[in-house]
Amino acid sequence: MEYVANYFGLKARGTNIRTEAMAGLTTFLAMVYITVVNPGILSDAGMDFGAVFVATCLAAAFGSIVMGVLGNYPIAQAPGMGQNAFFTYGIVLGMGHTWQVALGAVFLSGVIFVILSVLPVREWLINAIPRNLKLGMSAGIGLFLGIIALSSAGIVVDSPATLVTLGDLTSFNALMCLGGFAIITALSYRKFTGAVVVGMLFVAAIGWLTGSVEFKGVISTPPSIGPVFFELDIKGAFEVGMVTTIITLLIVDVFDTAGTMVGVSTRAGLTKKDGSLPDLGMALLSDSGATAFGALMGTSSTTSYIESAAGVEAGGRTGLTAVFCGIFFLLCLLFAPLAQSVPAYATAAALLFVACLMTRSLADLEWDDYTESAPAVIAAIAMPLGYSIADGIGLGFISYAVIKVICGRPHACPPVVYVIGAIFVAKFVFL
């Protein structure tokens, strides 16, 4: 125990093993919903639910433990929301690629991520992309998750006259989704730990009792990971048409991780006097390595979770919090039947709540500077309406560059924006 305390520097950060364990449990409860939601989304791409459940738990456990041991940050990891939606509805269903090729793209983005983490390029890339575009991308992914949630519950349906319209709000699925969303929101407002899980299980229980969905049990031997384990198609991901896809995966992962690490570390009081983060290199390497590992296991991009802030509020200050969280994800492998018993309308409620959290980033846009806010809004609304995270990001970069040039402010646009914008122009024109 003394070795553990010394390794993680518990005394220096004013914490102890018991506090770190409780913080790890708190973080786990705040993000365990991903073990149900992620397999649900990836199963729409044709992947086996049980196998993805195992891959999700393993990726989360590996990422969290490595982050804790190497980075010593109280930040847990798991397959990211938004990244999984892009994987299924963008790469597979939208572009027509197989899920094996999509896994290959995730793996390549993870490898590039590792290289950028070793080199000083990643910090430059994070700082080079305009802040308002980052905010627009985050909000757009939230809106994209929102329309997925609403459509999966039958609240929004397609219409030949208006493209989309309201479905039957009195249907059982719609009522359960909206009810679950209301419960999750109310509990979250009251800062109830595990609010998302409680809301999902509440409406799921109604479904079990009414017979609308089958209850398959609680505990059993974990399903086989075989159907997705090492099934990635790296060769297929090397196609020219996958370039912008890999760039999109990389950009989303980079900024998602950066925002989470800064936010959680600041709340935990881990930043230096100049605002920088200590030992950031190993933490970034842990995060990027987890993405590559997750792809090998059979899941979409793994990233740092903002829900780690719940563990920080519970007293977590070191990487031991993340290690404990990872251990809980390993134990979660035994609860596959329970995860498979949660219906789509329950996961839709969770998705809708996450969508609301992500969309609030629009509030921080520089609204008075139209050359900054307009491209961000274009990126945000193009994602759900174009049903593509990649295309939304592309339109955001292109419009940002074009508007700055027309306004006579070409130097106000970072070179990396011109480069990425040009790549997307080539994609729209030739692919």
Q: Which amino acid is at 39?
A: P
pTM for the structure as a whole: 0.84
* pLDDT-wise least confident of 201-205, 280-284, 297-301, 413-417: 280-284
Rounded to whole angstroms, how far apart are CA atoms 77 and 415? 32
Helix spans in 67-194 (H) = 83-85, 99-118, 121-128, 131-152, 172-189
Asked if pLDDT for residue 431 goes beyond 70, the answer is no
In this prediction, what percent of the chain has a pLDDT beyond 70?
97
Region 110-128 average pLDDT: 79
In this prediction, what percent of the chain has a pLDDT beyond 90?
64
Query: How many residues are recorded in the chain?
Result: 431
Region 116-124 average pLDDT: 75
Dihedral of the alpha carbons of 120, 125, 130, 131, in degrees to the nearest 10? -70
What is the model's pLDDT at position 123? 64
Q: What is the pLDDT of residues 143-197, one digit of tens each?
A: 988 999 999 899 999 999 998 999 999 999 999 999 999 999 999 999 887 888 8
Average pLDDT, the chain: 90
Q: What is the pLDDT of residues 364-395, one digit of tens each?
A: 899 999 999 999 999 999 989 988 888 888 99
What is the model's pLDDT at position 137? 85
What is the model's pLDDT at position 395? 94
- Per the model's pLDDT, the better-predicted residue between 274 and 252 turns out to be 252
What is the model's pLDDT at position 354? 87
Sorting pLDDT into bands at 50, 70 and 90, what band is 252? confident
Region 53-59 average pLDDT: 97
- Per the model's pLDDT, the better-predicted residue between 223 and 142 turns out to be 223
Exposed e or buried b for every residue in 265-295, given b needs 16+ CB within 10 A? beebebeeeeeebeebebbbbbbbbbbbbbb
Sorting pLDDT into bands at 50, 70 and 90, what band is 48? very high
Dihedral of the alpha carbons of 338, 342, 346, 351, in degrees to the nearest 10? 80
Sorting pLDDT into bands at 50, 70 and 90, what band is 275? low
Sorting pLDDT into bands at 50, 70 and 90, what band is 278? confident
Using alpha carbons only, what angle is made at residue 76 by residues 73 and 80, rounded to the nearest 5 degrees? 130
Region 135-148 average pLDDT: 88
- Per the model's pLDDT, the better-predicted residue between 430 and 33 turns out to be 33
What is the model's pLDDT at position 211? 92
What is the model's pLDDT at position 3? 87
Sorting pLDDT into bands at 50, 70 and 90, what band is 257? confident
Domain ranges of the chain: 2-430
Rounded to whole angstroms, how far apart are CA atoms 178 and 167? 13
What is the model's pLDDT at position 122? 65
What is the model's pLDDT at position 135? 87
Sorting pLDDT into bands at 50, 70 and 90, what band is 6? very high
Region 64-83 average pLDDT: 94
Using alpha carbons only, what angle is made at residue 78 by residues 77 and 79, rounded to the nearest 5 degrees? 140
Q: What is the pLDDT of residues 83-100, one digit of tens each?
A: 999 999 999 999 999 999
- Per the model's pLDDT, the better-predicted residue between 325 and 311 turns out to be 325
What is the model's pLDDT at position 193? 77
Residue 97 near residue 235 (C-beta atoms within 8 A): no
Instruction: Tell me the angle at which helices 280-297 and 49-66 cross, rounded to the nearest 10 degrees.
Output: 160
Q: What is the pLDDT of residues 339-372, one digit of tens each?
A: 999 999 999 999 899 889 888 889 989 999 999 9
Asked if pLDDT for residue 273 goes beyond 80, the answer is no
